[in-house]
């Protein structure tokens, strides 16, 4: 294979890669618009009932801690 043939083959491959990159860029843009691929950050939100249950458990926890400290 001559240098010229290698350059021609590489240019063809470069064109294929450019097309693939463009396609992936369009797919990424579509996903961003649809909201897909977004990662949730921060804490999970909880409902009022779950919040009350946690509150009840924590009150019990601290009550038990105070009792253990006194005993």
Side-chain half-sphere exposure of 26, counting CA atoms within 13 A: 5
pLDDT band, residue 5 (cuts 50/70/90): very high
Q: The whole model's pTM is what?
A: 0.45
Cα separation, 50 vs 44, whole angstroms: 12
Cα separation, 57 vs 51, whole angstroms: 10
**31 vs 15, more confident:** 15
pLDDT band, residue 65 (cuts 50/70/90): very high
pLDDT band, residue 39 (cuts 50/70/90): low
Domain ranges of the chain: 1-34
Question: Read out DSSP for 4-65?
Answer: HHHHHHHHHHHHHHHHHHHHHHHHHHHHHHHTTTPPP-SPPP--HHHHHHHHHHHHHHHHHH
What pLDDT is stored for residue 59 in this prediction?
A: 97
């Amino acid at each position: 294979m001559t240098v010229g043939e290698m350059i021609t083959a590489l240019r063809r491959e470069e064109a294929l890669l450019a097309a693939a990159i463009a396609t992936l860029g369009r797919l990424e843009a579509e996903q961003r618009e649809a909201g897909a691929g977004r990662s949730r950050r921060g804490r999970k939100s909880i409902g009022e009932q779950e919040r009350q249950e946690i509150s009840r458990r924590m009150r019990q926890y601290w009550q038990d801690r105070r009792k253990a400290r006194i005993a």
